[in-house]
Amino acid sequence: MSDTTSNQMWGGRFAAGPDAIMEAINASIGFDQRMAAQDISGSRAHAAMLAAQGIISDSDADAIREGLLTVLSEIEAGTFTFSAALEDIHMNVEARLKEVIGEPAGRLHTGRSRNDQVATDFKLWVRDQLDAADAGLIALIRALLDQAEAGSDWVMPGFTHLQTAQPVTWGHHMMAYVEMFGRDLSRVRDARARMNESPLGAAALAGTSFPIDRGMTAQALGFDRPAANSLDAVSDRDFALEFLSTASICAMHLSRFAEELVIWSSAQFRFVSLSDRFSTGSSIMPQKKNPDAAELIRAKVGRIFGANTALMMVMKGLPLAYSKDMQEDKEQVFDAADNWMLALAAMEGMVKDMTANRDSLAAAAGSGFSTATDLADWLVRVLGMPFREAHHITGSLVALAEGKGCDLPDLSLADMQSVHGEITADVFDVLGVENSVNSRTSYGGTAPAQVRAQIARWRRTLG
């Protein structure tokens, strides 16, 4: 390709030539301005430490800290002018600080580098997102607990392969998601504890010769301790990857639940009604009420998974310590965080607003030979039959009922005895779905008493 052709290809977009291309690929201010508050917090803590250590004067430190608050207020008010020529949030803030306070601004960067500065800012931002996810998960779990408590003894079909398997309770099904989101909450808290080490003071990669106090800045910023290795501190993005991994697993749980809500709210199931706040209509079919919020939650997982994979690919080949490749970490995390928080909030809203249709749930619970396992268990327990033989006899009874166009409880005693003569009328006590769920009293089972016990345990856990 000739230079002329090349220039034509990029010339319309980059009228100033190669310098403009370099500025565009190098600048991150278009997205890392989201870390302005964290950047200013880190700089204020750093300035206070420099003064405490006698590295800069108290008057310079005071001017820096007050000037940074002025810059932050301008950013929050939307009056701050960001410049791509200054590359990133750090240089934009420092340049404006110099305009505000003059010469003391030049002392702020003593004993640190943009490498440890960006690692600190990014950690603080991710930590804030983990705290937001913590709150969002607790709100969702509470909404599920309310649903579970309201329907702790409502029968519904339990499925395997999306085929009717055994009766369960609505409360039990809701509590399954409480356990899933509870593990997500645990992962959020584990990730937060593990990442809570301060990179600030690691400088470019080797530390600094200035007598800084990394413990002071770590404490001021709410970190548990300074990171112990300066090379690792500036090149670590495990915290971002763990954030994305945790978000991905939680998004998968959200997507599974969203899929069930899409199915359950359909005219074919009618298990739940979603509120108008989380549904839309059709532009052409007036009868439609579409579960769009659930469908969009189901789709969000693709973006979050994609962010996780993308950052893994960015990091996988990087030698120590910092490389400019790592600038590609933030957009992935920002997008994933936005979509995770939105999905959590939308799911909480849907769960709080949705109405379970008890009659439809109960009707479906009794269909599809859902109490076949109860029949097999009765044959084992009462007649002392080996389970494999009981399984075979139950299968024959299911086939008989299917041929008659009825369910197991609708067979007569004579019908049952035609398959096995020792069956008694007592068998009908276990064939009702209510009896079935009430009998599942093993720990973690679907019996209403077990469901209520798990609800109480979770309410105690959440406080």
Express each pLDDT in 254-297 by its tens digit.
999 999 999 999 989 999 988 878 766 554 454 557 888 999 99
pLDDT tens-digit readout, 118-151 = 999 999 999 999 999 999 999 999 999 999 999 9
Query: Which comes out higher in pLDDT, residue 24 or 311?
Result: 311
| 253 annotated active-site | no
pLDDT tens-digit readout, 40-78 = 999 999 999 999 999 999 999 999 999 999 999 999 999
| 161 annotated active-site | yes
Catalytic residue, from 2, 161, 283, 442: name it.
Answer: 161
pTM over 0.85: yes
pLDDT tens-digit readout, 296-325 = 999 999 999 999 999 999 999 999 998 988
Closest CA to 238 of 202, 194, 201: 194
Catalytic residue, from 59, 186, 282, 396: name it.
Answer: 282
| Cβ-count burial 162-198 (b if 16+ within 10 Å, e if not) | eebbbbbbbbbbbbbbbebbbebbebbbebbeebbbb
pLDDT tens-digit readout, 101-116 = 999 999 999 999 999 9
Q: What mean pLDDT do residues 384-407 have?
A: 90
| CA pair distance 212, 110, nearest whole angstrom | 10
Contact 448, 441 (CB under 8 A): no
